[in-house]
Structure 1
Amino acid sequence: MLTFEQKQAIIESFPQLTKKEISLNRLNYHYEESLFEKSIVVEKLHPNGNGFVYVGDLLKYEPIANDKGLVNIRDFSEDELKEIITDSINYLSEEIDEQPIVEVWTSREGTKLELVYEKRNWNVYFNNNLEESFGSKEAAVDYLREEGFRLKQ
């Protein structure tokens, strides 16, 4: 595990981040050029080595990010820390190059809808027409299930 000082040195190697001291000797690092209201990349870096990096809804981090889009970096290696910070900065500057994800959902009557992840949204299409758009996959899946659709296997 990297020490607080090692993590701090890695984070501060990103010139686009601005350090701000907060309570309990913790540090936040902001990306002032963020295209969004959210500008904190590294949140609550603590002298015990704990801290979080904001990744929003990047699919790459879905299994380990909490519901606020934060990933705990306590046990990250140097390479992992550099990668996640780079991904966070790119995310906040909309330089995301993720491939769309497409799922086909079918009703009992045979009607097919496509659930497509594109540009940070989960969109529901019927015959290439946008029907609904959601900020999370969970919300989109709930909607589809409530409407009687199931994921085609």
Structure 2
Amino acid sequence: MLSFEEKIAVIEEFEELEKKNVSLGRVNFHFEESLYDKKNVVYHLHPNGNGFVYAGEMEGYPVDDRGMVNIRDFDAKELHAIVREAIDSLASTPAEKDPVLEEWMNDYDQLLILMREEDGYNVYAGENLEGTFNSYEEAADFLEQEGFKQD
């Protein structure tokens, strides 16, 4: 297990993070450029080595109900990787994390394009917007009801 000082040294390698001292000797590291309400990347790093990294916008980590991963037993390489991923996840829109660009065709060879943009899904006929949807399922359902199939 890395010491408190060693964890601080790894985290301070990320110039985009701002160190904030909190109660009981704990430290938070904020990412002010976050595209989300969440700005804490490292939360309550304690002198005993315990602490958390926000992974709520990431996949592949066991998170608690706040989206946090306990980093107590992380080595330097693991800590560096999760902090980098956390920053990147807070700096990317959902469309950048999981892009969608699909062509849908009907029996009359008409083409519609389904794209994920920002936090929704848009359907285009050429440059014209045909519809905006909250989920992929809603957009696909619309296209299927209109007689389109994914190409």
TM-score bin (small chain): 0.5 to 0.7
Segments of 4+ moved more than 6 angstroms: 119-122
* Total equivalences in the alignment: 111
Q: Which residue of 2 aligns with 1:59?
A: 59
What is the TM-score normalised by the length of structure 1? 0.64
Deviates more, 1:41-50 or 1:31-40: 31-40
68, 71, 78: which is aligned to 1:70?
68
Structure 2 segments unaligned to the other structure (5+ residues): 101-117, 121-133, 143-151
| Residue 128 of structure 1 pairs with residue 118 of structure 2 | no
Q: Which residue of 2 aligns with 1:50?
A: 50
Larger Rg: 2
CA shift for structure 1 position 59? 1.8
Q: Which residue of 1 aligns with 2:91?
A: 93
What is the TM-score normalised by the length of structure 2? 0.65
Q: Give the 3 Å change call, closer, same or farther, for CA 23–73 of structure 1 in structure 2.
A: same
Read off the aligned partner of 1:18 and give its amino acid letter: E
What is the rounded CA distance, in whole Å, between the counterparts of 1:98 and 1:84 in structure 2? Answer: 19
What is the rounded CA distance, in whole Å, between the counterparts of 1:120 and 1:75 in structure 2? Answer: 35
CA contact (8 A) 2:57 2:86 kept: no
CA shift for structure 1 position 35? 1.1
What is the rounded CA distance, in whole Å, between the counterparts of 2:141 and 2:8 in structure 1? Answer: 48
TM-superposition CA deviations, 1:67-103 (whole Å, max 9, x none): 1110000000111101100111011111654578xxx
TM-superposition CA deviations, 1:49-69 (whole Å, max 9, x none): 0000001142221xx111111
What is the rounded CA distance, in whole Å, between the counterparts of 1:57 and 1:91 in structure 2? Answer: 6
CA contact (8 A) 1:42 1:54 kept: yes
Q: Percent identity?
A: 45
* 3-state secondary structure, aligned to 2:24: coil
What is the rounded CA distance, in whole Å, between the counterparts of 2:75 and 2:137 in structure 1? Answer: 41
What is the rounded CA distance, in whole Å, between the counterparts of 1:47 and 1:99 in structure 2? Answer: 40
Q: Which residue of 2 aligns with 1:149?
A: none
* 3-state secondary structure, aligned to 1:128: helix
